[in-house]
Amino acid sequence: RSGFVTLIGRPNVGKSTLMNRMIGQKIAITSNKPQTTRNRIQTVYTDERGQIIFLDTPGIHKAKNKLGEYMVSVAERTLREVDLILWLVEPTTFIGAGERHIAEQLKNVKTPVFLVINKIDTVAKAEILTFIDAYKEIADFAEIIPVSALKGENTDELLESMFRYL
Ligand code: GDP
Ligand code: MG
């Protein structure tokens, strides 16, 4: 199996940590180029199950100028062209305008979306459930997967689920 995946979410939710955790000791090619406006391959993950090509998506936000509009158009195209979208969130941040905007964008694409709730080591289980309910009201998710990227909790299960959609 092989396919394209993009990881979206606010700064600091743990995107880099999760990427590093999933890739672990496996062969990975990571680009260190600064953020460009072009769609590009960030990392390639390979194991016995197949290959996952992670694509960088420029931030999904409301455009304030021409460059912003272009970045947003690249982001929207990426969402449409990948096989799977991972929307990473942290349970300490409540749904705000940014999340609602992402949810609106996702309504326009058919790509399956995983809600990946990171940093579950920082909150009680009951809180996570409340959090999940709130997200279910703003978007449709193919899977909802709680993880701790830092501790490596449930990250193998996440990879396993990802391969099922590629
Ligand atoms: P990014 O901006 O989305 O790429 O987020 P980073 O990967 O840089 O992580 C932001 C901060 O959150 C760092 O201090 C990480 O160590 C921390 N962090 C990431 N994942 C977890 C987690 O699962 N649990 C906890 N407690 N902290 C985490
Ligand atoms: Mg990062």
The Cα–Cα gap between 123 and 33 comes to 35
> Tens digit of pLDDT for each residue in 116-139?
999 999 999 999 999 999 999 999
* H or E element in which residue 135 lies: helix 125-138
Residue 134 Cα to ligand 2 midpoint, Å, equals 25
Residue 23 Cα to ligand 2 midpoint, Å, equals 14
* H or E element in which residue 78 lies: helix 66-81
Q: Describe the strand order of the beta sheet including 28-30 as a list of residue ranges.
A: 28-30, 40-47, 50-56, 2-8, 84-89, 113-117, 143-146
- Contact 150 CB / ligand 1 (< 6 Å): yes
- Contact 34 CB / ligand 1 (< 6 Å): no
Q: What is the ipTM of this complex?
A: 0.99
Atom of ligand 1 nearest to the CA of 11: 2
Query: Which two structure tokens, joined as six digits, stand for 99?
Result: 């999340």
> Tens digit of pLDDT for each residue in 72-124?
787 888 899 999 999 999 998 889 998 998 999 899 899 999 999 999 999 99
Query: Domain residues of the chain, as ranges?
Result: 2-164
Q: Are 53 and 166 in contact (CB under 8 A)?
A: no
- Contact 89 CB / ligand 1 (< 6 Å): no
Encoded amino acid at 83, one letter: D
Binding residues for GTP: 9-16, 56-60, 118-121
The Cα–Cα gap between 156 and 145 comes to 11
pTM: 0.90
Domain boundaries 2-164, CATH class: alpha beta
Alpha carbon nearest to ligand 1 atom 7, residue: 14
In Å, what is the CA distance from 93 to each residue of 43, 152, 161?
Answer: 27, 21, 25
Alpha carbon nearest to ligand 1 atom 24, residue: 119
Atom of ligand 1 nearest to the CA of 147: 23
